[in-house]
Structure formats: structure tokens, C-alpha cells
Amino acid sequence: MKKHLLFLGPPGAGKGTQAALISEVNSYLHLSTGELLRQEIDSNTNLGKQVKDIINKGELVSDQLVLEIVKKNLNKDNNGWILDGYPRNLSQVNSLNDVLMNISQPLEIVFYLDIPDEVLIQRLLMRGRKDDNEETIKTRLKIYKANTEPLIEYYKNLSLLEYINADGDVKTISTEIKQKMA
Ligand code: AP5
């Protein structure tokens, strides 16, 4: 059973939903950089104040800040982990490789959750998080395509990539992920 997972895909693909389900069943750490950043905003910390406007505009927080959060939350003591929303560009991939080398826990599988733009836009508009308005979704998608999408090829070349059709019901998708983890 694979224990070190990464969920990759555009905003609204269901990365968070699936990562929460799989991590709960297996007692894995669910490391969502988006969620950790939102917690900082909700607690009105210095970091939260620094990132609030960036997140509300749908832009990327600096690689350095995100790396600090990842280092703080990812250590050797775990039953397994799922990275959700990190890495998001090639520079973050390189930093992640260093972090994982330090804890001797290499990435074992990358799930690429694929979904048509029109479906994800509808999902996000229905959810209505602060960064789920038409303008911000457009920015998030544009940034995803420019910065994050190249990671698909990167992980494909390492033979780590598993394709998931994320345009289906939650249970069918999680069953497919569990089968591919086995
Ligand atoms: P983040 O929180 O990572 O947002 P995101 O990548 O845009 O992803 P979402 O949470 O919107 O989508 P998801 O794929 O997780 O889908 P979900 O399960 O939630 O990041 C937010 C911001 O933080 C970024 O814009 C950036 O500013 C900053 N940030 C975060 N990480 C960063 C990093 N590494 N570097 C720099 N900046 C960073 O589902 C979405 C909706 O669809 C939900 O309502 C859900 O209930 C529904 N849904 C899920 N699955 C299904 C299904 N199968 N059928 C129907 N509905 C479904």
C-alpha cells in the first residue's frame, strides 16, 4: 500500500475532498497548504495578514512562505501523508524533493485529477469560498495552467503519475484511488 501521495489537479478538481477521505481511512497526514494558509488568515496571524490579499486574488503565495509551512507540518513521524495543493510549480518541486530526502520518505504516487474547466467552475461557484468568484477562479485557472500543469509531465517522466477522471461522483473516484494505491 502506497503511503506517500500527492494529489495534483486544477482548482475544484476534488483534491481536498479525496485527500480528506483517503487520509482519514488510513490515518495519514493530510497536508493542504491552502487549508493551512486559510487557518492562518482565520487566526489573524502575521502570516495570515501577509497572505490574505494574495489568496483572495487567486495568486500564488511566495515559495519561501509555503516551504516554511510545509517544513513545519511534515516530519518523519507519520503513518503516511498526502500532499494537496503543494507543490504548485517547479521551484516548489525542487524544495519538496529536498524536504523528502531529509526525512527519507520519497513520493510514491501522484494522482492527477482531471476535470473539464466548465465542471470545476460550476463546482467552485456553488461552494462560494471567498476565492470562489468568477474573476478569482479565472486567475486561479490561468496560474494553474501556466505554473502547475507542467508538473504533470514532470511526474509522468518519473513514472509516478496516475490519471484519475475527476468528473464523477465522490465515491467512485475514491474507490479508483484506493485501488491504485494498493
Ligand atoms: P487551495 O486551497 O489549494 O485551492 P485550489 O487548489 O484552488 O483547490 P480547491 O480547494 O479549490 O479545490 P480542490 O481540488 O481541493 O477541490 P475540493 O475538494 O475543495 O489554495 C488556495 C489558495 O492558497 C491558492 O489560490 C494560493 O493563493 C494559496 N496556495 C495554496 N497552496 C499554495 C502553494 N503551494 N503555493 C502558493 N500558494 C498556495 O472541491 C471543490 C468543490 O467541489 C467542493 O465544494 C466539493 O464539495 C466539490 N466536489 C469535490 N468533489 C466532487 C465531486 N466528485 N462531485 C461533485 N462535487 C465535488
Ligand 1 centroid to residue 55 C-alpha, Å: 12
- Over the stretch 104-129, which tens digit does the pLDDT of each residue have? 999 999 999 999 999 999 999 999 99
Of 86, 89, 80, 150, the C-alpha closest to 108 is 80
Of 110, 42, 97, the C-alpha closest to 70 is 97
Contacts 24+ apart (CB under 8 A), 62-66: 63/89, 63/91, 63/92, 63/95, 66/33, 66/37, 66/92
Quote the percentage of the chain above a pLDDT of 70. Answer: 100
- Which mutation among 33, 126, 169 tests ligand 1's pocket best, with the greatest number of atoms within 8 A of CB? 33
- Determine how many CB atoms are found less than 10 A away from the CB of residue 88: 20
Question: Mean pLDDT, the chain, as a whole number?
Answer: 97
- Over the stretch 8-21, which tens digit does the pLDDT of each residue have? 999 999 999 999 99
Is the CB of 23 within 6 Å of ligand 1?
no
Give the three-class secondary structure for 10. coil
**pTM assigned to the model:** 0.97
Average pLDDT over residues 134-148: 98
